Structure 1
Amino acid sequence: MGELTLIKHNAHRVDVDGHAMLMHVPSSSLFELDKVSCDVYDLFQRSAAVDAGAMQSSLGSTYAPSELSDCVQSFLDLDILRDAAEPEVARKIVKVEEIPLSTIILNVNTGCNLACTYCYKEDLAIPSKGEKMAFETARQSFEMLLKQAHERDRVNVVFFGGEPLSNMPLIRELVAYAEPRAAELGKVVDFSLTTNATLLTEEMVDWFNEHRFALTVSMDGPKALHDMNRKTVGGKGTYDVVERKVRMLLSRYTARPVGVRVTLTRGVTDVIGIHDHLKNELGFAEVGFGPATSGPIAVFNLDDGALKQVFEDMKALGRRYTDAACRGENIGFSNMHQLLTDIAQGTKKAVPCGAGLGMLAVDKEGDLHLCHRFVGSDEPTYGNVDTGIDVPKLADFIEKAQDRSAFGCKTCRIRSICAGGCYHESYSRQGDAFAPVYHYCDVMREWVDFGIESYVRIMQANPDFFRSQLEPRMSKPGYSPSRPEASDIVKEIAR
């Protein structure tokens, strides 16, 4: 062989309890290295370039030539090694020719009966000034979804706000239209809704149950923490009413597990305490955390130190999750579910999420946005439900989003999991939807390494956990799994 060099940003090694794990960065696939592949990898880590003579001198007394040759070929196949004289091949930008939607998000009302201090919605209004979506706009939105999802057998409609329950007549009317209309085309339609729960009634819950809604409640933990930021328009804390409505919801709702989303802000960072209250005391199936770092009122945002501490606390809860998973138990920590799904599946993202590809959001006028977070913002829209999707404009955005090389993502070891981070987070914090969320970069790299460690430990103790708990969650828009083949020198962990 001629001189070969290691493409360091295509491989990342993590040692876990005596197992030498190698993440193949372009695909996020995880491999366990045997002794020869460990030694070959270490040799290339130490040397800028290695030829046959250098390899024979360093490793020839330990391994047969065929063992070394097979190992090198495995790394070449995985694009971990390349000819030192050849330039690196640039990442291919995938052309976007159509928008294969699976999900439409309907912003059914700009009005909300709460005034949460960290709300990102730029079009938010008090209830008396809320602007509600008309049924015809919702109907056209659904028809557009069906048209764009012509090759899919399942579609999803998400109701959002403001507070979506403040426009229940529209929600009921669209569900009555969408279910038989989808059936005409041989499709199944699922409905999702995120609510602050204050307007829930028993009759609503029973109706949601009948139509198998996927429900998520926004709640920030015990009373003292929840009431810090989640207040009524009049400034009163909402914990007491939300707690009462949640207990009613969880006692009556049987169609699907109900999850809760927590926003972590300055002063609201007790990850373990919040999880234990919401999961063990109230009974939510899952608890997910979202740190606030780019909200409209900076005083509530987590600074770098607070963000790092939050992730340390999330890792502490993640260790609980891992220990429970090894025993065959699930403690309902959504962030760990998603992290382990990405690792187990071998996530390969070219873009951060399904926004603009598998998913679009619709405002009350029928204009199309990348996602619900952009509704009401100054960012461009991409067509209207009357005229259809502006495919060239949206395709241009998605194609540009695939190239983050100007920002340093090209050599990041989690680029296939992160892909630059949330467009809205970047827009809110830096005024550029393509600029990576740098304040997350270091903690996210540590979080992924933690996920690799957790994955290996669960696989060693209880591999069935992934089949029983994670496989139902492994269908996400915006990316597809990729698990490249390798020789017997590197063995992929059993999926």
Structure 2
Amino acid sequence: MGIKLNVIEHNLHQVQVDAEQMLFHIPTSSLFAQDELTSSILGALRAGADSRDHVQSALAGRFAVADIDEALQDLLALQIVGDGSPLSSDVLPGGVTKTALNTVVLNVNTGCNLSCTYCYKEDLDKPSAGKRMAAETAIASVEMLLEQSPDEERYSVVFFGGEPLSNRPLIEYMVDYCEKRFAEVGKQVDFIMTTNATMLTEEIVDYLNRHRFGLSISMDGPKAIHDKNRITVSGQGTYEVVRRKAEMLLSRYDSRPVGARVTLTRGTTEVEEIWDHLINDLGFAEVGFAPVTSGDISSFNLTPEELVTLFANFKALGRRYLQAALQGVNIGFSNLHQLLTDIHEGHKKSLPCGAGLKMLAVDHKGDLNLCHRFTGSSLPTFGNVHGEVDNASLTQFLSDRLDRSNTGCQTCRIRNLCSGGCYHESYARYGDPQHPNYHYCDLLRDWVDFGIEVYARIMSSNPDFITRHIVPRKVH
């Protein structure tokens, strides 16, 4: 009878796209068009065939024996079919032993000139009380990056706040320092900043343009939506000033595309309306949506019903993305674009993001935080740039997150695209940054299925879109 065979169901997911069946290989996040022979083998095994001989007998007369054997070998190699041999793990064996830092986030000022009602920053201060990072701390942060990961080819320095432009002198000092310092060691450096735009002037925009900053503008959409939460310290809406500043920026900035970052809170699910305003009325290159589901102030969290509506609206905008992509046009829907990038490149995320592994955030005191969302929180830090990086605690934290035992993540079909979700969201919702974000698993699984369908349709009808708009995304 031979070796017993079985389908490893948690390693594959099948998605029907019109007449074609797609097979999503979960361990590698790779997508294949499933041919008739593969479908027949999987069907036979699921129907009770449990050996090579049984499969060949079930498919006799339809396929050549040699073709069946070759296809079975491929499925065994992919661990879609098992023969009793131990399965390789999706995650790093032995955990994380070394980080590969290439990004440092400098929290240059805790002060902000706005008072956005939903802000997650636990160390946020009013402008007069802002704690500014000293140049010595910023320099030590960059040197820490080079010392920890001297072999990286390219590094990123991110300026964050509060409102980072409220400490403009430090930004300009560090740009000058970094351009000289990284050139000395033959490395490249990128500068990144998220800003509320209110402090932008033509002079500042031209400066940022000369140094090719990657810019993201926090803006929530049309006036009625934006002014609900993005207000001044005195409680006034900021839409009019942000719109004027954004239009000035977009008319002058040509070194890199500028994106808008939208925060979606309770009562706000109008994805298409927001996208249309930011892309077509204002001219942003892309729009990324950040739904609030685990904020410290629960009244801002989207309700379960609103989350269902939100993902339905994501799919509605996604269908517009698809129609434009079939015509060779990228309409700048970042959430879907990133998902397609992950599918195309076969991203296998053992961890939810680069926090701790490729990126650390430095607060005004020099303490090293998992990411910018944790500065000022009660989560223990991982050393200080004026002392040492606590690599032992950092790698242990990351290794603990790799452990998917006793969680639904272990066999989930999107485990290598989601990896349990955002650390800070888990921390805010469950009090534990290691806890999986279970509250929208089903919605995310459906969203990934939608992404697989969109990707398959683009590859079938206009693969040049992938070549032109997905592959170059990594190029600066």
When the two structures are superposed, what TM-score results if normalisation uses the length of structure 2?
Answer: 0.97
What is the aligned partner in structure 2 of residue 34 from structure 1? Answer: 35
1:87: how far off?
5.7
C-alpha distance after superposition, 1:240-297 (max 9, x if no partner)? 1100110111111111110000011112210000000000000000011010101111
What is the aligned partner in structure 1 of residue 212 from structure 2? Answer: 212
Q: Quick check: 1:161 aligned with 2:158?
A: no
Amino acid at match of 1:294: S
C-alpha distance after superposition, 1:11-53 (max 9, x if no partner)? 1111112221111100001111111111111222344x61234
**CA–CA distance in 2 between the matches of 1:18 and 1:474?**
33
Contact 2:5–2:52 (Cα < 8 Å) also in 1: no
Amino acid at match of 1:256: R
In structure 2, do the counterparts of structure 1 residues 56 and 472 end up closer, same or farther at CA, with 3 Å as the change threshold?
A: closer
What is the aligned partner in structure 2 of residue 486 from structure 1? Answer: none
Contact 1:216–1:258 (Cα < 8 Å) also in 2: yes
C-alpha distance after superposition, 1:64-107 (max 9, x if no partner)? 222221111111000111125x5655555344333221100000
Amino acid at match of 1:390: D
Contact 2:95–2:402 (Cα < 8 Å) also in 1: no
Amino acid at match of 1:192: I
What is the aligned partner in structure 2 of residue 303 from structure 1? Answer: 303
What is the aligned partner in structure 2 of residue 488 from structure 1? Answer: none
**CA–CA distance in 2 between the matches of 1:94 and 1:12?**
27
**CA–CA distance in 1 between the matches of 2:198 and 2:81?**
57
**CA–CA distance in 1 between the matches of 2:387 and 2:98?**
16
**CA–CA distance in 2 between the matches of 1:14 and 1:361?**
39
**CA–CA distance in 1 between the matches of 2:45 and 2:353?**
34
What is the aligned partner in structure 2 of residue 263 from structure 1? Answer: 263
Amino acid at match of 2:93: I
1:58: how far off?
2.2
Stretches of structure 1 lacking an aligned partner (at least 5 in a row): 477-495
Contact 1:345–1:474 (Cα < 8 Å) also in 2: no
What is the aligned partner in structure 2 of residue 120 from structure 1? Answer: 120
In structure 2, do the counterparts of structure 1 residues 392 and 358 end up closer, same or farther at CA, with 3 Å as the change threshold?
A: same
RMSD: 1.5
What is the aligned partner in structure 2 of residue 18 from structure 1? Answer: 19
When the two structures are superposed, what TM-score results if normalisation uses the length of structure 1?
Answer: 0.93
In structure 2, do the counterparts of structure 1 residues 411 and 475 end up closer, same or farther at CA, with 3 Å as the change threshold?
A: farther
What is the aligned partner in structure 2 of residue 484 from structure 1? Answer: none
Contact 1:93–1:402 (Cα < 8 Å) also in 2: no
Amino acid at match of 1:414: I
Q: How many matched pairs?
A: 474
- Once the two structures are superposed, the pairs formed by residues 17-96 of structure 1 within 5 Å of their partners are 17-47=18-48, 50-84=50-84, 88=87, 90-91=89-90, 92-96=92-96
Amino acid at match of 2:314: M
Amino acid at match of 2:46: Q
Stretches of structure 2 lacking an aligned partner (at least 5 in a row): none
What is the aligned partner in structure 2 of residue 322 from structure 1? Answer: 322
**CA–CA distance in 2 between the matches of 1:201 and 1:388?**
38
Contact 1:271–1:313 (Cα < 8 Å) also in 2: yes
C-alpha distance after superposition, 1:189-241 (max 9, x if no partner)? 11000001111111110110111101100000000000011111111111011
What is the aligned partner in structure 1 of residue 439 from structure 2? Answer: 439
1:150: how far off?
1.2
What is the aligned partner in structure 2 of residue 479 from structure 1? Answer: none
Q: Helix, strand or coil: the match of 1:406? A: coil
Contact 1:93–1:399 (Cα < 8 Å) also in 2: no
**CA–CA distance in 1 between the matches of 2:377 and 2:8?**
40
- Once the two structures are superposed, the pairs formed by residues 435-474 of structure 1 within 5 Å of their partners are 435-474=435-474
Amino acid at match of 2:51: D
Amino acid at match of 2:36: K
In structure 2, do the counterparts of structure 1 residues 474 and 81 end up closer, same or farther at CA, with 3 Å as the change threshold?
A: farther
Percentage of pairs with the same residue: 57
Q: Helix, strand or coil: the match of 1:389? A: coil
Q: Helix, strand or coil: the match of 1:325? A: helix
- Once the two structures are superposed, the pairs formed by residues 89-488 of structure 1 within 5 Å of their partners are 90-91=89-90, 92-474=92-474
C-alpha distance after superposition, 1:311-363 (max 9, x if no partner)? 11011101100110110011111111101000000011111111001100000
In structure 2, do the counterparts of structure 1 residues 196 and 46 end up closer, same or farther at CA, with 3 Å as the change threshold?
A: farther
Contact 1:159–1:192 (Cα < 8 Å) also in 2: yes
**CA–CA distance in 2 between the matches of 1:385 and 1:282?**
40
